[in-house]
Copies of this chain bind each other. A is one copy, B any other.
Amino acid sequence: MSDKSAMIHFRLNPRSGVPPYRQLVDQVRQMVSLGLLRAGDQLPSVREVMRQITINPNTVHRAYRDLEAEGLVEGRQGRGTFVVEVRTPPTTPKRQAELHKDLGAWIEKARLAGMNDEAIMALVTLAVQEITVAKEKVTP
């Protein structure tokens, strides 16, 4: 494993309707949330992201600035952008890996049942919304 292998690699979905800068922000938040990015880890430089995906440097910068305002990362002049915050890991890596595997199995089952990706996404979204709504009722 080289250093590079641990570095986040961004993906853009141009048809999602989500603005690119927001997709970058969301991806970093998710990685941190899952413990895949930890305090001290470096984000790829703006220029590196430009090489990975076709995107304007300002857009990347905008995303990094938003993350900084949020307190999740810190830009260090001339050195790079680094993860700052370490939220309490939501669960152990092992437990999380199991859950990940279980979810993969569920998805596989859904596909065998004839659901296409769009429908799977819709069902997932529905189920997740239900937990969000339930939560809103508890913590309005």
Residues of A within 8 A of B (CB): 11, 16-19, 22, 26, 29-31, 33-34, 56, 66, 69, 78, 90-91, 95-96, 99-100, 102-104, 106-107, 109-111, 113-132, 135
Contacts and interface: CB of A to CB of B under 8 A. Distances in A.
Contacts of A130: 104
A128 B115 contact: no
Given A26-B17, A30-B125, A95-B113, A119 B106 contact: no
A15 to B, nearest CB: 10
B109 A106 contact: no
Given A18-B18, A90-B116, A123 B100 contact: yes
Contacts of A30: 121-122, 125-126
B124 A103 contact: yes
A130 B118 CA distance: 14
A119 B100 contact: no
Contact of A69 (B56, B69, B118, B126): B69
Contact of A122 (B33, B110, B117, B122): B33
Given A18-B18, A121-B128, A99 B110 contact: yes
A92 B11 CA distance: 34
Contacts of A114: 90-91, 95
A91 B106 contact: no
